[in-house]
Amino acid sequence: MCGIIGYIGSKEAAPILLQGLRRLEYRGYDSAGLAIQDGDTLARVRSVGKIENLAARAATEDLPGGVGIAHTRWATHGGVTEENAHPHTDQSQKLVLVHNGIIENYREIKEQLGSEHIYNSETDSEILAHLIGEHLLESTAPYTKEHLLKAVEEALKQVRGTYGIVVLHKDIPNCLIAARMGSPLVVGVGDGEHYIASDATPILPYTKKMMFLDDGEIAILTQDAIEIQTLAHELIEKEVEEIEWSAEEAEKQGYADFMLKEIFDQPTVFEDAIRGRYDVEEGVGKLGGLNMTDDEIKQVRRVIFIACGTASHAGMVGKYAFERLAGIPTEVDVASEFRYRDAVIDEHTLVFGISQSGETADTLAALREAKRKGAFVRGIVNSVGSTIARETDGGTYIHAGPELAVASTKAYTNMVAIILLYALQFGRAQRTTLATGQRLLNALLELPQKMNRILEQSDAIKVIAETYKDYEDFFVIGRGINYPTALEGSLKLKEITYRHSEAYPGGEMKHGSLALVDESFPTIAVMTKNQLYDKMRSNIEEIRARKGKVIVIATEGDDRAHELADDVIFVPETMELVEPLLNHIPLQLFSYHMAVALGRDVDRPRNLAKSVTVE
Ligand code: M6R
């Protein structure tokens, strides 16, 4: 989704903005632009395609100045053209604006502004720029930052929809005005310089001190000061938070792609996720952020995980784990469905919203709905200070560090890790024995070295992936707690290789989908040694009998796996409940290597965005 970076200070803004845009690339975009103010001049450069196109254009222009705004656009209103790229100007061409979100009543506003307004793009954002410019005319020039602030306030009163905006004006030096409603904005607090961005990533190289704007808040930035106020002009004391992530954590560190780095990060970030959050002696998970009394915990009769995409697959692992360990009926709801289906929720329902970005619009809306209906709503989130983290009444950060590849890998691992600890926490309060609790924790503690054993097979998995790269269709099957693994593996395959893939519980194939199987339609089967091993073997036999090729993920030492498979990838043995923390890794590597072999843009697959902040 779109990204914003703004700078105000004594350094040259252009290199900071371009670097910031590069760090926002992971969000997905199709065009980019920047505007820089220097004294009484205002320069604007925009370009479709990669940031490097914009950088090349910028290099041919003289772009001095220490105040600027920049944007990566992911098209919603209007095609991918230079005219539609941000920043947009108002009628006077002196005011520039970058905008994330959607102005729902832009047609109404356009009509109201009248026919004398000439627009150069098809975007809702340009209309907002014109509206602010129009309100500025209500003040008398020479304009001041107070005039600009008033114009922004007045314009935003008329707007319906979502926005994160930053505005600057050619005739108003040393001033950036930003406002948020539904699209996140973070202020970076520097010394004699300040930053504003759609997330912390582009600010991290310069400062770790940040302020997270809430909906309905406006920030007025000058070189030496930051003022935060409401849309109704009331000043707000905003806490400055210290972000732990280092800029280096977000770099590739020698890996060819962020996705590969993030796959290899898993053993380390998994340890970060669970550290200090369990007690082996007591055999229990100890997650502090739940903010529920023992009585409230006992009142929980039902758990619902709400999430999208990969995060919903983590929730599905949670369904198996919560029901088995705690005996609490548990459901998983895809957020975009939950928000409109008038779900039955009461004060005995505990809802967990799971999100890497913490900004996914559907998840956020569904959680608000659950809260409105009286559920306990908690977050399982990666991005510190994100909207979901702040709007839920408690929960847990998963500590995966910045995940920049669009395809989620290490965040999934850490979501599952935290969910297992929650299941154990609730389970020990209900029906899980000390011995089972301890066994589970010991199995978790052995995971980092077991994950490494799988990662060491990356080159061997690459050879297998290359063998299958020309097949157009795949099944990925699993059973029980490995069914979510199959769903997740299948999503990775679609997302980054653009190959068609479908996930099924192994036992479901014979109810229709088996008809598709022939020598051109391979199946990847998760067949590790657990209670459903023999069932899974039979399901694979059914595929083999129809001449389907099979790649099997099997437990180390299972020599019989070769009888059933064209190719086998071995994973270390572990407790069944913990298998989802190992078995997805070969699937991640398989998809990654196939995508590379097919020449795909692994980190930024087509049509997708990292942070889906629109409905
Ligand atoms: O940031 P979130 O975890 O809320 O994002 C949810 C999905 O958009 C995300 O998991 C998506 O499915 C991934 N790109 C899949 O790899």
Pairing of strands 550-555, 567-571: parallel
Q: What is the pLDDT of residues 490-532, one digit of tens each?
A: 999 999 999 999 999 999 999 999 999 999 999 999 999 999 9
Q: pLDDT grade, residue 1 (50/70/90)?
A: low
pLDDT tens profile 481-500: 999 999 999 999 999 999 99
Q: Ligand 1 centre from 611 Cα, in Å?
A: 7
pLDDT of residue 252: 75
Residues 368 and 239 occupy one common structural domain: no
The CA distance from 176 to 36, in Å, is 11
Q: Six-digit token pair at 91? A: 């009628």
Identify whether 187 is part of a domain.
Answer: yes
> For 358-383, what is the mean pLDDT?
95
β-sheet bridge partners, residue 379:
353, 395
- Is 123 touching ligand 1 by the criterion CB < 6 Å? no
Number of residues assigned to the chain: 615
- Cα–Cα dist 122/324, whole Å: 53
Tell me which of 193, 209, 243 is where a domain ends.
Answer: 243
My answer on whether 85 and 184 are in the same domain is yes
479: left (phi over 0), alpha (psi -120 to 50) or beta: beta
pLDDT at 297: 86
Q: For residue 360, give the ligand 1 atom closest to its CA.
A: 4
Asked whether 496 lines ligand 1 (CB < 6 A), one says no
- The protein residue whose alpha carbon is closest to atom 10 in ligand 1 is 310
The Cβ of residue 556 has, within 10 Å, a number of other Cβ atoms equal to 13
* Neighbouring C-beta atoms of residue 430, cutoff 10 Å: 14
In this structure, the dihedral spanned by the alpha carbons of residues 241, 246, 250 and 252, taken in order and rounded to 10 degrees, is: 180
Report which of 272, 270, 219 is spatially closest to residue 245, judged by C-alpha positions.
Answer: 272
Q: Do 375 and 325 fall into the same domain?
A: yes
Domain assignment of residue 573, yes or no:
yes
User: Which amino acid appears at position 468 of this protein?
Assistant: Y
Decide whether any atom of ligand 1 lies within 6 Å of the 37 Cβ: no
CATH number of 119's domain: 3.60.20.10
CA of 308 to the centre of ligand 1 (A): 6
> Can you give the pLDDT at residue 2?
84
2 catalytic, yes or no? Answer: yes
Pull the structure tokens for residue 219. 């920030």
Judge whether residue 607 has pLDDT over 80.
yes
CATH code of the domain covering residue 335: 3.40.50.10490
Checking if the pLDDT of 364 tops 80, the result is yes
Q: Indicate the DSSP class of residue 107.
A: H
- The model's pLDDT over 247-259, given as tens digits with 9 standing for 90+, comes to 666 677 678 899 9
Dist. CA 408 → ligand 1 center (Å)? 6
Cα–Cα distance measured from residue 602 to residue 406, given in angstroms and rounded to the nearest whole number: 8
Tell me which of 189, 210, 243 is where a domain ends: 243
Q: Residue 180 has which token pair? A: 């948020």
From 71-85, 315-329, 341-355, the region with the lowest mean pLDDT:
71-85
Q: How far is CA 110 from CA 82, 124, 148, 164, in A?
A: 21, 9, 20, 20
Whether 450 sits among the annotated catalytic residues: the reply is: no
Q: Across the chain, what does the average pLDDT equal? A: 94
Show the tokens assigned to 268: 């380390």
Name the domain boundary from 243, 275, 292.
Answer: 243
DSSP state of 511: G
Average pLDDT over residues 582-602: 98
What pLDDT is stored for residue 533 in this prediction?
Answer: 96
Tens of pLDDT along 265-287? 999 999 989 988 999 999 999 99
Closest alpha carbon to 315 in 255, 360, 281, 278: 360
Q: Is 554 helix (H, G, I), strand (E, B) or coil?
A: strand
Dihedral angle of Cα 374, 379, 385, 390, to the nearest 10 degrees:
10
The CA distance from 448 to 275, in Å, is 12
Q: Is the peptide bond before 87 cis (omega within 30 degrees of 0)?
A: yes
Write down the pLDDT at residue 248. 63
Nearest CA to ligand 1 atom 14: 407
**pLDDT tops 90 at residue 437:** yes
326 & 429 share domain: yes
Q: Are residues 226 and 285 in the same domain?
A: no
In a domain, 613, yes or no: no
Q: Give the pLDDT score at 28.
A: 66
- 186-216 burial, b for 16+ CB within 10 Å, e for fewer? bbbbbeebbbbbbbbbbbbbbbbbbbbbbbe
pLDDT at 250: 63
Q: What is the pLDDT of residues 10-64, one digit of tens each?
A: 999 999 999 999 988 776 678 999 999 998 899 999 999 889 999 999 999 989 9
Statement to judge: residues 207 and 299 lie in one domain: no
Task: Kindly state whether residues 293 and 257 are assigned to the same domain.
Answer: yes
C-alpha to C-alpha distance for 6 and 20, rounded to whole angstroms: 9
pLDDT higher than threshold 90 for residue 402: no
For residue 309, give the ligand 1 atom closest to its CA: 12
Lowest-confidence pick of 180-184, 192-196, 215-219, 280-284: 180-184
List the residue whose alpha carbon is closest to atom 12 of ligand 1. 309
| pLDDT of 223 higher than 90 | yes
Residues 216 and 171 reside in one and the same domain? yes
The verdict on 305 and 361 lying in the same domain is yes
Dist. CA 614 → ligand 1 center (Å): 13
Residues 98 and 207 in one domain: yes
343 domain-assigned? yes
Domain count, the chain: 3
Share of the chain above pLDDT 90, in %: 85
Q: Are 523 and 377 part of one and the same domain?
A: no
Q: Hey, is 535 helix, strand or coil? A: helix
Q: Give residue 136 CA to ligand 1 midpoint distance, Å.
A: 40
Q: How far apart are CA 123 and CA 66, in angstroms?
A: 28
Full-model pTM: 0.76
Residue 397 falls within a domain, yes or no? yes
Residue 521 belongs to a domain? yes
In 326-424, DSSP assigns E strands to 330-334, 349-355, 376-381, 395-397
pLDDT value of residue 183: 86
User: With a 6 A CB cut-off, is 488 part of the ligand 1 pocket?
Assistant: no
Distances (CA, A) of 399 to 261, 380, 411, 607: 16, 10, 8, 28
What pLDDT score was predicted for residue 249?
66
- 545 and 510 in one domain? yes
Closest atom of ligand 1 to 610 CA is: 14
Please report the atom of ligand 1 found closest to the CA of residue 363. Answer: 4
The closest-lying atom of ligand 1 relative to the alpha carbon of residue 611 is 1
Domain contains 615: no
Residue type at 490 in one-letter notation: S
Question: Residue 24 sits in which domain range?
Answer: 3-243
Beta bridge partners of 278: 285
- Specify the pLDDT at position 199: 87
Structure tokens at 432: 């899980």
| Dihedral angle computed from the Cα positions of residues 265, 609, 25 and 384, in that order, rounded to the nearest 10 degrees | -60
Query: CB of 588 closer than 6 A to ligand 1?
Result: no
Q: What angle do CA 342, 345, 347 make, to 5 degrees?
A: 150
The answer to whether position 239 is within a domain reads yes
Residues 86-92, mean pLDDT to the nearest whole number: 98
The finding on whether 495 has its CB within 6 A of some atom of ligand 1 is yes
Ligand 1 within 6 A of 314 CB?
A: no
Q: Is the CB of 365 under 6 A from ligand 1?
A: no
Q: What is the whole-number distance in angstroms between the Cα of residue 559 and the centre of ligand 1?
A: 36
Which ligand 1 atom sits closest to the C-alpha of 310? 10
Catalytic residue among 2, 261, 494, 549: 2
Mapped onto helix, strand or coil, the DSSP state of residue 386 is: coil
